[in-house]
Amino acid sequence: MPRRKGAPEVNAGSMADIAFLLLIFFLVTTTIETDAGLDRMLPPMEPPDTDVIIKQKNIFTVNINKNGQLLADETLMDIKDLREAAIAFLDNGGDGTCTYCKGKKNASSSDNPTKAIISLKNDRETKYGTYITVQNELVGAYNDLRNREAQRLFGRSFVDMEAEYLNPETPSSVRDELKDKVKRIQDLFPQKLSEAETSSN
Amino acid sequence: MAKFAKKKDGDLPAVSTASLPDIVFMLLFFFMTVTVMKDSSIMVENVLPNASEVKKLEKKDRVIYIFAGKPTREYQGTYGTETRIQLNDKFASVNEVGSYILMERAKKPQELQNVLTTALKVDKNANMGLISDIKSELRKVNALKVNYTTYEGNAFNNLQ
């Protein structure tokens, strides 16, 4: 018997069901999360050619022992006070060359934010969590100061500007403009955080 | 005017569901594109510490992961309870970190090889000794950009 009609129409009513099935599978397996963390640069392996002499007063030593206690600038300190102490040290402006510093201009503390170095030492048995807390506070101290300057110069926070600058979706015209601003703030308070080899005793 | 036949009341017009598959497909494609399949199972305890001054790790293709922590219970029989490093799917010793980084770097396209970040996913109860060893290995192979991956939160919670 010859066919009178063309090919019979396929019922597409269950397509939605199939699509739902796939949808639910992908819904369950999806994790929409981006990792976040503290960015740090490690020092290169080969030491610099020239030895630089750094005045003792320009170094802020932070020492963490294996029990998680903190020795900052020769005094036992609670981690909660570290941020304040670091800000006071960085913002000191002891020799008067720093025009934007609001510190105490204490002659026995750092000369200029561009010269101030924070040195972090830790024991081999220090807990990683403690170390991250200290790192966080030190980065926070820099961010607080940079935010203050960015607010004064450009009317917005530095963290905000940097996030927009680093975001790959920002158009390049905006990015170029931000690059100079971010660079300028970073130069005001350069992050000089040195990490020595851990002591084993 | 018979042209405007009066509708019989109590008789709702059926809503067309013909576009339902389209909508579902749209959602499906969205989730398909944002899905990232987990590529390695974590064999170490991995409770990350908290930090508040975090930066987002954009672009997953530029990141090399290193895990560290105590082996989970099922591996404790064979690997003990000391903090171990996990690279990809197996436990490794400290001196394997350098070659692992070089290997991973070689897998990435040429233009990305200089902008790679090493993400350290370390359990918050790990000791710093191991981390320092990892860091000196990273310095040896010139992988200087690191990211201590953390959860976003109050950093003082780590101290308890």
Q: What is the ipTM of this complex?
A: 0.73
pLDDT tens digits, B3-50: 676 656 677 777 777 788 888 888 888 888 877 666 667 788 888 888
Contact list, A15 vs chain B (CB under 8 Å): 21
Integer-rounded Cα radius of gyration of chain A: 27
pLDDT tens digits, B47-66: 888 888 888 877 777 888 88
Instruction: Name residues 67-106 of chain B within 8 A of A (Cβ).
Output: none
DSSP H stretches of helix in A67-188 = 82-90, 128-154, 158-166, 172-188
H-helix or E-strand spanning residue A39: strand A36-41
Q: Which of B37, B52, B149 sits opposite A136 (nearest CB)?
A: B52
Q: Which of A35, A122, A198 sits opposite B149 (nearest CB)?
A: A35
Percent of chain A with pLDDT over 70: 90
Pairwise CA distance, residues A37 & B155, whole Å: 12
- Residue contact B139–A168, C-beta within 8 A: no
3-state SS assignment for residue A77:
strand
Contact list, A31 vs chain B (CB under 8 Å): 36, 38
pLDDT tens digits, A19-65: 888 888 888 877 666 678 888 888 777 766 666 777 778 888 888 88
pLDDT surpasses 50 at B114: yes
pLDDT of residue A201: 47
CB atoms within 10 A of CB B30: 14
| 3-state helix/strand/coil string of chain B | CCCCCCCCCCCCCCCCCCCHHHHHHHHHHHHHHHCCCCCCCCCECCCCCEECCCEECCCHHHEEEEEEECECHHHHHHHCCCCEEEECCEEECHHHHHHHHHHHHHHCCHHHCCCCEEEEEECCCCEHHHHHHHHHHHHHCCCCEEEEEEEECCHHHHHC
Domain coordinates in residue numbering, chain B:
50-159
Q: Which residue of A has its CA nearest to B141?
A: A45
Q: Higher-confidence residue: B151 or B34?
A: B151
3-state SS assignment for residue A21:
helix
Direct distance between the N- and C-terminal alpha carbons of chain A, in angstroms, rounded to an integer: 96
Domain covering B50-159, topology: Nucleotidyltransferase; domain 5 (3.30.420)
Contact list, A19 vs chain B (CB under 8 Å): 21, 24-25, 28
To the nearest whole Å, the CA of A59 is away from the closest chain B CA by 22
pLDDT of residue A188: 85
- In this structure, are residues A37 and B43 in contact, taking their beta carbons and an 8 Å threshold? no
Instruction: Name residues 107-126 of chain B within 8 A of A (Cβ).
Output: 117, 119, 122-126
pLDDT tens digits, A85-107: 888 888 887 777 777 888 777 77
Q: Which of A23, A45, A197 sits opposite B140 (nearest CB)?
A: A45
- In this structure, are residues A161 and A178 in contact, taking their beta carbons and an 8 Å threshold? yes
Pairwise CA distance, residues A60 & A122, whole Å: 14
- Residue contact A198–B132, C-beta within 8 A: yes
Among A48-57, A157-166, B93-102, whose mean pLDDT is lowest? A48-57
pLDDT surpasses 60 at A199: no
pTM: 0.76
Neighbouring residues of A194: CB distance < 8 A, sequence distance ≥ 6: A43, A117, A118, A119, A120
To the nearest whole Å, the CA of B10 is away from the closest chain A CA by 27
Please, what's the b/e burial string for B136-151 (b: 16 or more CB within 10 A of its CB; e: otherwise)? bbbbebebbbbbbbbb
Question: Which residue is associated with the tokens 């820099």?
Answer: A142
- In this structure, are residues A185 and A149 in contact, taking their beta carbons and an 8 Å threshold? yes
Please, what is the average pLDDT of chain B? 82
